[in-house]
Chain A
Amino acid sequence: MTIDSKDSNSAVQSPQRRKVLQAGASVAGAVALGFPAIVRSQSGPIKIGHLTPMTGFLGALGNWAVLGIKMAQEEINASGGVMGRQLDIFSEDSVNPATAATKAQRMFERDGAEVLIGEISSASAKTIMQVAERNKRLFMSTGPRSDALRGEFCNRYTFHVDIPVTVMVNAEGQGLLREGLIKGQRIYALTSDYLFGHDLAKAAKKFVNAHGGKVIADDLVSTDTTDFSPYLLKVRQAKPDLIATNLGGNQVTNFVKQYAEFGLPYPVAGFNLNTADAWAAGRGNLGGIWPTVWHQDIDTPGTKAFVAAFRKKYGKTPENHAWIEYVSLKAMVQAMNATKSTNTDKLIAYFETEAKIDLLKPRKGYFRNWDHQMMQEAYTFTVKKEGTYKEEWDFLKFSAAIPDPDQPLELLAPTKAENPCTFK
């Protein structure tokens, strides 16, 4: 017995020892030769870590994100990769802020990721941003919308693709102003009781007050609320001119479903809704005006080709999180090709030239150089009348792009005076 175990011990140990020696020798050799960087990165595939929630209340949206980035990766690799190297993208469930940070660190440290892409949860994105800064590597934050991420928490290693809360509120607000639903109107607000909802409510109130409306009530709604009937009764008693919702995730859908169930006559608007939430509400249940960052009916060759390819590959219409992951990876590849490098400083410098980036929309976008926020067009949508559409995905009616073609893209974004971002 003892002899056996000794034998197996030495058998296990010797190759390990040899490996350590080999590694040590190659490191020493590389240092002696004086160009360790070349040894590290110039061969093999370019590795990119992709983190997004795949379970939990944002999991449904994260699954769209995975489909989107997969399709972009396949297209890029099929056309020869980047600088002759293939892309190797590994997607993982970010779960929660703590796990997201741990996984991000591991992806940089052990998996050899050159850059990170992804996220939907603002809370998880915040911790990944810190990891990116510590490692001095680039993180392209795709889906999170909290203003604070590009404001007080901003850092030069993070780029933000999705529209922030302020832009959603401004886009939605412009739509509501056009309909005459703000000026002189009494507005009943329902706000999700967590960071994102509070952020949204703050921006929305500011907009309403600035444009002559009055918020007569703002009820907080717990994130685990599924039954809205007590709130609906309160709304009916208050007889508002408009109901404004600052809800998140499943709440939005449950609210609109129950609103349709009670059949109250007041117009509903919301400052946050994803296309997937709208689809989940089901036909005939959704009403009101909502903001969005992209939709499948945008009349550009880019969006048409993307939607057609996505439908062919997956048999369904892409949701905005599939789109955003797709264009984000393409933007990253554009920067790598232009700089002929995966070097973090070079990539940051490239984006900071405010290089134009194709987002499959009429106007190209760019990352604003002082807060790394993508400047782009936004949209609002209303709901088509029952019977005027055929397809399940097809009941949303989208507005023209906001801002108008002759206005600057920065119109909806927070100004330098409003946004406390400075890079260290």
Chain B
Amino acid sequence: MQLLFLLEQVVNGLVLGGYYLLIALGLSLIFSVGGVVNLAHGAFYALGAYVSIEIARYLGFGAAVVISPVAVALLGILFERFILRRFYTADPILSLLVTFGLALVAEQLIRIIWGASPLSASMPSGLKGSVVLGDFLFSRYRLLLLTVAAGVLVGIWLLLNKTSFGRVVRAGIQRPDMVAALGIRLQPYMTAIVMLGVGMAALGGALFAPIALVHPAMGQEIIAVAFVVVVIGGLGSFWGVVLAALLVGVVRGVTIYFVPAAGEASMYVLMFLVLMFRPRGLLGERIEKFE
């Protein structure tokens, strides 16, 4: 019985990991291709949630979850063209500062537009409640969340591995100078990657809005988790991020099962252990650009 309960936590952790993945994968892609740690990533997550609430008011939940990420992704184009682009080759500290500053500005803007009080989104009543599969309890809504996350994951994998777009991006991660020498401009690819990345973050925000409160500082909460996932997974590794996201979700669930008070600290302990034994992360490759 004990084992079964533990297994239930593991499965639930995998579901939660799927949601972490949505945010961390974009952060990892932007970092891998542009060499920029986008500390404003959480702001796009928060924007995704707020915009989805506005849209849901008029068009309902389904439309909100589709339109909000697209709208935020378009905003991501402006972000890349006018801000991020200036910092790809600059000292990393500059891009850290500018994206951190941007995160603060975005949080205050949200406070000005939507107010300091938390907002609440409701989920369609058909998605409320849970189903029991085998011996495991699943929230219906989270099953949907997991399906969407899996769909996005497959989509991104196909895009990176089965298209010419993906080939250029992967080459850009490994050897940006060689790509340039072949006469390919990486900038339009970078715009697309940023668009995809912040779009995924916004999708995460829109999907999480019905589960937890939507408030101006929500971006700060998620950026820490996403960053930990990327570090554990290893830079430049697609499957590393996937593995790390699931692992963080599982470790958190199991920790809460045994020592509830340590639940939120568990991922930092995990990061510590991984970095002790594998400084480049679980599946991180040796990348010239960063070493």
Asked if A219 and B122 sit within 8 Å, CB to CB, the answer is: no
CB distance from B129 to the nearest CB of A (A): 4
Residues of B within 8 A of A237 (CB): 5, 8
A146 within 8 Å of B (CB atoms): no
0 or 1 for each of A264-297: is its CB under 8 Å from B? (1 = yes)? 1000000000001000111111000000000000
B272 within 8 Å of A (CB atoms): no
B54 within 8 Å of A (CB atoms): no
0 or 1 for each of B200-225: is its CB under 8 Å from A? (1 = yes)? 00000000001111010000010000
Asked if B215 and A234 sit within 8 Å, CB to CB, the answer is: no
Number of A-B contacts (CB under 8 A): 109
> Which of A222, A229, A231, A254 contacts B139, CB < 8 Å?
A229
| Nearest B residue to A217, CB-CB | B260
Asked if B212 and A254 sit within 8 Å, CB to CB, the answer is: yes
Asked if B122 and A285 sit within 8 Å, CB to CB, the answer is: yes
Residues of A within 8 A of B221 (CB): 224, 226
Chain A contacts with B in 210-237, Cβ cutoff 8 A? 219-222, 224-227, 229-231, 233-234, 236-237
Residues of A within 8 A of B263 (CB): 221-222, 225, 230
Residues of B within 8 A of A59 (CB): 116
CB distance from B270 to the nearest CB of A (A): 15
A257 within 8 Å of B (CB atoms): yes
Residues of B within 8 A of A257 (CB): 120, 210-213
Residues of B within 8 A of A285 (CB): 120, 122
Q: How far is the CA of A145 from the CA of B119 in the complex (A)?
A: 25
Q: How far is the CA of A260 from the CA of B5 in the complex (A)?
A: 21
Asked if B139 and A261 sit within 8 Å, CB to CB, the answer is: yes
Asked if A234 and B212 sit within 8 Å, CB to CB, the answer is: no
> Which of B13, B118, B137 contacts A250, CB < 8 Å?
B118
CB distance from B140 to the nearest CB of A (A): 8
Q: How far is the CA of A225 from the CA of B261 in the complex (A)?
A: 10
> Which of B16, B252, B260 contacts A221, CB < 8 Å?
B260
B142 within 8 Å of A (CB atoms): yes
Asked if A284 and B125 sit within 8 Å, CB to CB, the answer is: yes
Chain A contacts with B in 231-268, Cβ cutoff 8 A? 231, 233-234, 236-237, 250, 253-254, 257-258, 260-264
B253 within 8 Å of A (CB atoms): yes
B89 within 8 Å of A (CB atoms): no
A30 within 8 Å of B (CB atoms): no
> Which of A54, A222, A224 contacts B261, CB < 8 Å?
A222
Residues of B within 8 A of A308 (CB): none
B130 within 8 Å of A (CB atoms): yes
| Nearest A residue to B255, CB-CB | A230
CB distance from B86 to the nearest CB of A (A): 31
> Which of A229, A254, A280, A284 contacts B142, CB < 8 Å?
A229
Residues of B within 8 A of A260 (CB): 128
Q: How far is the CA of A283 from the CA of B213 in the complex (A)?
A: 13
Given contacts A229-B142, A229-B253, 15 further A-B contacts (CB under 8 A): A60-B116, A60-B118, A221-B260, A230-B9, A233-B8, A233-B9, A234-B257, A254-B211, A254-B212, A258-B211, A261-B129, A261-B210, A262-B129, A280-B120, A285-B122
Can you give 10 A-B contacts (C-beta < 8 A)?
A54-B116, A229-B139, A254-B213, A258-B139, A260-B128, A262-B137, A264-B130, A276-B117, A281-B120, A285-B120
Interface residues of A (CB under 8 A from B): 54-55, 59-60, 63, 193, 219-222, 224-227, 229-231, 233-234, 236-237, 250, 253-254, 257-258, 260-264, 276, 280-285
